[in-house]
Amino acid sequence: MPADARAEFVMDLVSRLPEPERTLVTLRRSGVGEAEIAARLGLTPEQASQSLTRAFAWLRRAMLAETVPDWSGAWGLRIGTEFTAPAEVRLTVTGEIDRDNAAELGECVLAALGAELRPAVLTLDLAGVPLLDVAAARVLRAASEAAASRGTRIELVRMSPAVRAALRVCGLDPLVRD
């Protein structure tokens, strides 16, 4: 895609953001720092950072998707738990996993491992995860080690090519199941 078309595509996506995220992203892209953005918009630096994180996560997801996702998908990590067999638990993860929410995933995994059930297999369904970062990889590695110490095997299933590549780069491909 030519640079002009890419820029137009990104600007179209930015225009679809609700306020104040649209203004936050526009200011950030023009080089304004988060502290100044927060001051200009009457937000705390933490609020500005969290809103920017959500907005950029949605933009990345929109750029990778076949169709533009609803903004509602940008509102954080969602994890569903399902007991799929007597000794199996499946966590269905939706949303980006990054430094802002990786600990939440870790807590859910540890809770599933600590359940009375003591699952033989803990499956993480990552079909709804468009991207994950190194913080997520650290959590998944620690979860795998914690699981192994309890006699549980972790399996990562149904991920996008981008997530699969990130897992491979982080050395987590032994956990991936097709």
Tell me what pLDDT residue 37 has: 93
Q: What is the mean pLDDT of the chain?
A: 88
Tell me what pLDDT residue 143 has: 94
C-beta of residue 20 within 8 angstroms of C-beta of residue 55: no
Task: Domain 3-69: give its CATH architecture.
Answer: Orthogonal Bundle (1.10)
Q: Which residues pair with 125 in a beta bridge?
A: 92, 157
**For the residues 157-162, what does the mean pLDDT come to?**
92
Give domain limits for the chain. Answer: 3-69, 78-175
Say which CATH topology domain 78-175 has.
Transcription Regulator spoIIAA (3.30.750)
Distances from the Cα of 27 to the Cαs of 17, 20, 32, 63, in angstroms? 13, 11, 6, 20
Tell me what pLDDT residue 72 has: 63
**For the residues 52-60, what does the mean pLDDT come to?**
85
Pick 115 or 162 by higher pLDDT: 162
Tell me what pLDDT residue 159 has: 94
Tens digits of per-residue pLDDT, 136-154? 999 999 999 999 999 999 9
